[in-house]
Structure 1
Amino acid sequence: MKIESRIFEAIAVFFIVMGIIYAVATYFYRTGVEWAGVACFSFSAALALLVGSYFRFVARRVEIRPEDYDEAEIEDGAGELGFFSPHSYWPIMIAGAAALFAIGFATGNFWFSIGVALFLVAAVVGLVMEYHVGPEKH
């Protein structure tokens, strides 16, 4: 996980440097600094730094993985990788509700977006609580 954190931190540094260059370059243009681009670079750097910080935090708590060990063999990565729900319909409901929310928000239908946000929250709760109810109840 340390490698992933370094990658995202390098991306954050790239966005910071490019944001500064972009701000300086647009400052000398006839209309002045173009703040939308500067904001996009700043938010992109913040998001990359957020993911990199999360990976660095997680890397301290997990043992070394075969991907992080230079002399690892293919067999070191064999075995169970985790549990993934084989037949859950909640991710489809979350994606649909998120798409409808975005469409309502983009078109200015804020009441529609608020109503769909309730369905989005309900779908997320359903996904989280999926294995806390009986297998025949969902």
Structure 2
Amino acid sequence: MKIEARIFEFIAIFFILMGIIYTISTYFYRTGVEWAGAACLFFAGGLSILAGTYFRFVARRVEIRPEDYEEAEVEDGAGELGFFSPHSYWPILIAGFAALFALGFATGNLWFAIAIALGLVGSVAGLVFEYHVGPEKH
């Protein structure tokens, strides 16, 4: 995870530097700063810092992976990668609600988009808690 953290931190540095350069260059070569591009670059840098910080914190909690040391062989990473639900209908609902939300937002039907967003949140919660079994079920 340290490699991923470094990658996102370098991307954040790049976006912030490009944001500074872009802001200065639009100030001197136009009648003023072009704020839309500058805000996008700085926000992209902020999101990269967010992802890099997450990977940095996770790297402290997990054991060392084969990707984290240079002498690793391909077969060191073999094995089970995780659990994936074979017969879940929640991803279909999430995709449907996301498409309807995008359609409502793009056409300007904001009440429709807000109502569909609640369905989207509910279906994501259903996916997350699909295999959650409380202590009374054991």
Q: Give TM-score scaled by structure 1 length.
A: 0.89
Matched residues in 2 for 1:68 and 1:62: separation? 11
Q: Which runs of structure 2 are paired with 1:21-36 in the superposition (5 Å)?
A: 21-36=21-36
Structure 2 runs not aligned, ≥5 long: 134-138
Task: State the shift of 1:33 in Å.
Answer: 0.5
Matched residues in 2 for 1:28 and 1:100: separation? 44
Task: State the shift of 1:99 in Å.
Answer: 2.4
**Greater shift in the superposed pair: 74-83 or 3-12:** 74-83
**2:110 matched to which residue of 1?**
110
Specify the SS of the correspondent of 1:130.
coil
Q: Which runs of structure 2 are paired with 1:79-118 in the superposition (5 Å)?
A: 79-118=79-118
**Corresponding letter in the other structure for 1:116:** I
Task: State the shift of 1:88 in Å.
Answer: 1.8
Specify the SS of the correspondent of 2:66.
coil
**1:70 matched to which residue of 2?**
70
**Greater shift in the superposed pair: 124-133 or 78-87:** 124-133
Task: State the shift of 1:2 in Å.
Answer: 0.3
Matched residues in 2 for 1:86 and 1:43: separation? 37
Q: Percent of aligned positions with the same letter in both sequences?
A: 77
Specify the SS of the correspondent of 2:68.
coil
Q: Deviations over 1:8-50 (max 9, x none)?
A: 0000000000000100110012331000000100110011110
How many aligned residue pairs are there? 133
Matched residues in 2 for 1:114 and 1:80: separation? 39
Matched residues in 2 for 1:40 and 1:62: separation? 33
**1:129 matched to which residue of 2?**
129
Specify the SS of the correspondent of 1:132.
coil
Matched residues in 1 for 2:103 and 2:19: separation? 30
**Greater shift in the superposed pair: 45-54 or 77-86:** 77-86
Structure 1 segments, 4+ long, off by >2 Å, are none
Structure 1 runs not aligned, ≥5 long: 134-138
Matched residues in 2 for 1:81 and 1:126: separation? 23
Q: Give TM-score scaled by structure 2 length.
A: 0.89
